[in-house]
A and B are shown apart, each in its own frame.
Chain A
Amino acid sequence: MRLAPTLLLLIALPAWAQEPAPARQQQLIRMLRQDCGSCHGMKLTGGLGPALTREALAERPLESMAATIFYGRPGTPMPGWRGLMTEDEAAWMARLLRAGAPEEPPAKVKP
């Protein structure tokens, strides 16, 4: 009985089986917006690096996106991020970008 909710989740979301824990997801989204944003723009519309919007990535295979994130692209300024994330996290980020990267919640700052 206790296992039922977990099993249900696994069946319903096979592609997301290895998704990072919620706190790590927030970190990765922040990294995406803020740090990837240094080159790709905070709105991911491009800069030194290409645009990473859902429209721009529509034709790109997920595996190739995950590999670019994890290993980088030699000969370009795109570094491999494997020092800062796991392969599963890179794959999760690729799926996130494909679906349209979510906005970060606004910063909580004392008035």
Chain B
Amino acid sequence: MSTRRQLLQQGSATLLPTLLPALLPALVGCKTAPPTPQFAPRGSGDLGLVILRASGEVAVIDSSQRRVLGIIKGLGDLSHAAAVYARDGARAFVFGRDGGLTRVNLLTQRIEARVMQAGNSIGGAISQDGRLVVAQNYQPGGIKVFDAETLALRADIPALGANGQRSRVVGLADLPGQRFIYSLFDADAICIADLSDPDRPQVQRFDGIGRQPYDALVSPNGRHYIAGLFGEDGLALIDLWAERPEVRRILGGYGRGEQPLPVYKMPHLRGWALAGGTAWLPAIGRHEVLVADAQSWQEVARIPVAGQPVFVMARPDGRQVWVNFALPDYHKVQVIDVPSRRVIHSFEPGRAVLHLEFTPRGEAVWISCRDDNKVQVVDTASFKTLASLDLPAPSGIFMSARAARLGL
């Protein structure tokens, strides 16, 4: 007959070895309190995010150690997701395709705040002082302004076409002075919203800027805004430093007389390549990179490349311009030398190259290869592969150095 006592003894005898290892660290922890690595004091200057588009996750990466530090889950539909950084370079706002706006902390690797702000969204921007975050929406068309701390809605500004219907918004960027600039795909217009007083937004509008602006960029000094046009050859430019800013057309009719190729993927202008006093831009529907003089905005060269460019990105020092392509050429990457305007290196880092991001001072570039489930890290001087990270369906890569730059 086994007594209760016997059972207890047996129980404690078997339980103790199990419990001890679990208890020990806690006991030791009281004295020495070793911090867990992710909470150890560290800066965020060499951190970044990789969007994992299929799984609704973001990977936190360390560009010094060239490794993945962790994964943050639960961000929704991240196809075509983008991120902007708070001024501390530690927190990022991720804009999901499904209208989700999520603030993540790269140091704690946690979601801090999240709202569903629209039905269909494609990116956003953060104000110069970091207090306002703005999402650009396809559905309902317009921009929404949020308090960066609480994600509370501060303003909802519809983007209206001539017919009174809401237009899809593209090419949103921050400008100095709590202002944001954006383009209306369905209304051939550019708007500037002044949010110095978010309760009373002032919107200035430029109409007839060209057909179907699809994306845009602002120059690093905030002076020029350029919108690419899908509906015609050419781009729309505004000099924001002019006394009375107005829109003018540049690089008009660059493909005159030629039948454009089918565009399987829209180019992105946000990679703004301003190098050597020239602007480098993807031609729509052509296997060309266009080079314009950044003073006169006249075309100075066209560089034949291996496919239809999607991102045309200058290395931070402006010496090289790196280009990736729309399908069916999206396994290729080419590097153009800026002084000689020649392609100096072509290679195939993996299938479906979606995005390139330079480290802050440009010694390496991170390349997402969606269909190989890899991010390749490549030395920009020797073109050697420095690291290869396994990540599911990687797309956008956003390093924290963006926190200190205008227009990103």
A residues neighboring B (CB under 8 Å) = 30, 33-35, 37-39, 41-43, 45-48, 72, 77, 79-81, 83-84, 104, 106-110
Within 8 A of A (CB), among B97-112: 97-98
B265 touches A38 (CB 8 A): yes
Docked CA distance A46–B230 (Å) = 19
CB–CB B264/A42 < 8 A = no
Q: Is the CB of B390 within 8 A of A109?
A: yes
B308 to chain A minimum Cβ distance, whole angstroms, is 10
With A and B bound together, what is the CA distance between A37 and B352 in angstroms?
Answer: 14
Please name all residues of chain A whose beta carbon is closer than 8 Å to the beta carbon of B230 when the two chains form the complex: 77
Do A104 and B54 contact each other (CB < 8 Å), given the known contacts A35-B264, A35-B265, A47-B80? Answer: yes
Contact status B77-A43, CB under 8 Å: yes
User: How far is it, in angstroms, between the C-alpha of A97 and the C-alpha of B371 when the chains are bound?
Assistant: 22
Interface residues, chain B, CB within 8 Å of chain A? 53-55, 77-80, 97-98, 120, 122, 138-139, 168, 185, 212, 214, 230, 262-266, 327-328, 352, 370-371, 373, 390-393
Say yes or no: A109 contacts B373, CB within 8 Å: yes
Q: Which residues of A contact B214 (CB under 8 A)?
A: 48, 77
Do B139 and A42 have beta carbons less than 8 Å apart? no
Chain B contacts of A38 at CB under 8 A? 79-80, 265-266
Do the beta carbons of B263 and A79 come within 8 Å of each other? yes
How many whole Å from B57's CB to the nearest CB in chain A? 11
Asked if B122 and A106 sit within 8 Å, CB to CB, the answer is: no
Complex Cα–Cα for A80 and B285 (A): 13
State the CA gap A48–B169 with chains docked (Å).
10
* A residues near B54, Cβ cutoff 8 Å: 33-34, 42, 104, 106-107
Q: Which residue of A lies closest to B285 (CB)?
A: A79
Task: Please give, as numbers and ranges, the residues of chain B lying within 8 Å of A42 by CB-CB distance.
Answer: 53-54, 77-79, 97
Q: How far is the CA of A48 from the CA of B186 in the complex (A)?
A: 10
With A42-B77, A47-B122, A77-B230 in contact, is A84–B55 under 8 Å at CB? no
CB contact under 8 A between A30 and B371, given known A35-B264, A42-B97: yes
> Are B328 and A47 interface neighbours, CB within 8 A?
no
Bound CA–CA A16/B37 (angstroms) = 56
8 Å CB contact of A41 from B55, B77, B212, B391: B77
In the complex with contacts A34-B370, A46-B139, A79-B264, A107-B185 CB distance below 8 A:
no
CB–CB B77/A34 < 8 A: no
Q: How far is the CA of A38 from the CA of B138 in the complex (A)?
A: 13
Q: What 9 A-B pairs are tightest by C-beta distance, nearest first? A: A42-B79, A79-B262, A107-B392, A110-B390, A109-B392, A109-B373, A37-B79, A107-B373, A109-B390
The residue of chain A having its C-beta at the shortest distance from the C-beta of B139 within the complex is: A46
Distance A16 CA – B406 CA, assembled complex (angstroms) = 53
Given known pairs A35-B264, A47-B80, A47-B138, the reply for A41 and B97 (CB within 8 Å) is yes
A46 touches B392 (CB 8 A): no
C-alpha gap A46/B328 in the complex (Å): 23
- Decide if A48 touches B79 in the complex (CB within 8 Å): no
B residues near A84, Cβ cutoff 8 Å: 264, 327-328
Q: Is the CB of A107 within 8 A of B393?
A: yes
Residues of B within 8 A of A72 (CB): 262
CA distance A45 to B139 in the complex (A): 11
- Among A34, A45, A81, the residue within 8 A (CB) of B393 is A34
- Contact at B97–A80, with CB atoms within 8 Å? no
Closest-by-CB residue of A relative to B370 is A34
Q: Do A41 and B79 touch (CB < 8 A)?
A: yes
For the complex formed, measure the closest distance between the CB of B76 and the CB atoms of chain A, giving whole angstroms: 10
Nearest-CB residue, chain A, relative to B55: A106
Smallest beta-carbon distance B340→chain A, Å: 32
A106 to B20, CA, bound (A): 39
11 CB < 8 A contacts A-B: A34-B79, A34-B371, A35-B327, A37-B80, A38-B265, A43-B77, A45-B98, A46-B139, A47-B122, A48-B214, A83-B328
Q: Is the CB of A41 within 8 A of B266?
A: no
Could you tell me the distance in whole angstroms from the C-beta of A24 to the nearest C-beta in chain B? 15
Instruction: Please state if A45 and B120 are interface contacts (CB–CB under 8 Å).
Output: yes
Chain B CB within 10 Å, residue with most, of A41, A46, A72, A107:
A107
> How far is A33 from B214 in the complex, measured between Cα atoms in Å?
21
Q: What CA separation (Å) do A37 and B370 show in the bound complex? A: 13
Instruction: Please measure, in the bound complex, the distance between the C-alpha atom of A84 and the C-alpha atom of B230, giving whole angstroms.
Output: 21
What distance in Å separates the Cβ of A16 from its nearest Cβ neighbour in chain B?
Answer: 26
| CA–CA, A110 and B389, complex, Å | 10
Contact in complex: B77, A77 (CB < 8 Å): no
Contacts A34-B393, A42-B78, A43-B98 supplied; 13 other A-B pairs, CB < 8 Å: A34-B53, A34-B370, A35-B327, A42-B53, A45-B98, A46-B120, A46-B139, A47-B97, A48-B185, A79-B263, A81-B262, A106-B392, A109-B392
